[in-house]
C-alpha cells in the first residue's frame, strides 16, 4: 500500500516547487491543476458538460479558460456550476492515478485540497507557507496577473492560517534549502509510519 500525502498551500506559496522536491526523492506526483487542463483539453472528459452549460466557452473541442473566467466574472452562479462538473471528474482522474501508481509515497498537489474534500482521501496533509509579503512579491513577479486579480483569488481561497491549522506537516518555503530539509524530514517520518503500520 502506498502512503497518500496531500500537498496544499495558498496561491504562489511554493506547492509546485515543493512537489518537485518530493518527485526528486522518488515520490509519484499527481497535480490537480494539470488534471483540470487534461479535462478541458481536446477530448477531455469535461468538454461535453461544459459545452452544455456554456457553449460559447468551448472552441474547437477544448474549453477556453479565458472565456470561462469572463463567465465567472459576470455571473456569480457560474463558478459553483463549473465546480459541480469539474470536481467529480478531477476525483476520478485521481482514482485512476492511485490505481496505477505503485511508488511508496504518492503526493497530491491540490490547491483546493480542503475546499474540495480531497483531505478525506489522504493519510496526511502537508501545507506550504511563506509570509504574505513574500507571497505577493513572488506572484506579482511572475507577471501573469494584476494586483487586483491576485487579491481576488486570495479572497476566494481559505486563509493560510486555517490551512496550516488543518495540516499535519508544515513546510516553510523561505529558501530552497530550508524547504528541502523539511521535505527530507517529512519523508523520514512517513517511512517510519509505514514501517510501524
Ligand atoms: C476559473 C478558471 C477557468 C481559471 O483558469 P486559469 O487558467 O485562468 O487559472 P488557474 O486555474 O491557474 O487558477 C488561478 C488561481 O485561482 C485558483 N483557483 C482556481 N479555481 C478556484 C476555485 N474554484 N476557488 C478558489 N480558487 C481557485 C487556483 O488555485 C490558482 O491559484 C479555472 O481555474 C477553473 O475552471 N476553475 C474551476 C475548476 C476548479 O475548481 N479547479 C480547481 C482544481 S480542483
Ligand atoms: N523554498 C523556496 N525558496 C525560495 N523560493 C521559492 C521556494 N518555493 C517556491 N519558490 C518560488 O516561489 C514562486 C512560486 O512557487 P510555485 O510556483 O512552486 O508556487 P505554487 O504554490 O505552485 O503556485 P500556484 O498556486 O500559482 O500554482 C516561484 O517563483 C518559486 O521559484
What is the value of ipTM here, to two decimals?
A: 0.86
Ligand number nearest CA of 112 is 1
Q: How many residues does the chain have?
A: 197
Which residue is listed with cell 483569488?
153
Ligand 2 environment, Cβ below 6 A: 9, 11-17, 111, 138, 173, 175-176, 179
* CA of 13 relative to ligand 1 center, distance in Å: 15
Q: What is the mean pLDDT of residues 13-42?
A: 98
Binding residues: 12-17
Report the predicted TM-score, pTM, of the whole model to 2 decimal places: 0.93
- Closest C-alpha to ligand 2, atom 9: 14
- Give the pLDDT confidence of 103-133 residue by residue, as tens digits: 999 999 999 999 999 999 999 999 999 999 9
- The domain 1-27+104-197 is placed in CATH, from the list 3.40.50.10420, 3.40.50.970, 1.10.10.10, 3.40.50.300, at 3.40.50.300
Ligand 1 environment, Cβ below 6 A: 11, 32-33, 36, 65, 68-69, 72, 79, 82-83, 86-87, 90, 111-112, 116, 153, 156-157
Quick one: pLDDT at residue 120? 97
CB-count burial class (<10 Å; 0-12, 13-18, 19+) for 119? middle
The residue ranges of every structural domain in the chain are 1-27+104-197, 40-102
In whole angstroms, give the CA distance from residue 90 to residue 3: 20
In whole angstroms, give the CA distance from residue 8 to residue 127: 5
Amino acid at each position: 500500500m502506498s502512503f497518500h500525502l496531500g500537498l496544499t498551500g495558498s496561491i504562489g506559496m511554493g506547492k509546485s516547487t515543493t512537489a518537485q522536491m518530493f518527485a526528486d526523492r522518488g515520490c509519484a506526483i499527481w497535480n490537480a491543476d494539470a488534471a483540470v487542463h487534461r479535462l478541458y483539453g481536446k477530448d477531455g472528459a469535461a468538454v461535453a458538460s461544459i459545452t452544455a452549460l456554456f457553449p460559447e466557452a468551448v472552441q474547437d473541442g477544448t474549453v477556453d479558460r479565458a472565456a470561462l473566467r469572463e463567465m465567472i466574472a459576470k455571473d456569480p452562479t457560474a463558478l459553483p456550476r463549473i465546480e459541480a462538473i469539474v470536481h467529480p471528474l478531477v476525483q476520478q482522474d485521481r482514482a485512476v492515478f492511485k490505481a496505477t501508481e505503485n511508488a511508496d509515497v504518492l503526493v497530491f498537489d491540490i490547491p483546493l485540497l480542503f475546499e474540495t474534500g480531497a483531505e478525506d482521501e489522504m493519510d496526511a496533509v502537508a501545507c506550504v507557507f511563506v509570509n504574505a509579503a513574500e507571497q505577493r512579491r513572488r506572484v506579482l513577479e511572475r507577471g501573469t496577473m494584476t494586483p487586483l486579480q491576485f487579491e481576488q483569488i486570495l479572497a476566494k481561497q481559505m486563509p493560510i492560517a486555517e490551512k496550516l491549522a488543518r495540516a499535519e506537516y508544515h513546510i516553510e518555503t523561505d529558501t530552497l534549502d530550508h524547504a528541502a530539509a523539511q521535505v527530507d524530514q517529512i519523508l523520514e517520518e512517513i517511512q517510519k509510519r509505514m514501517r510501524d503500520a
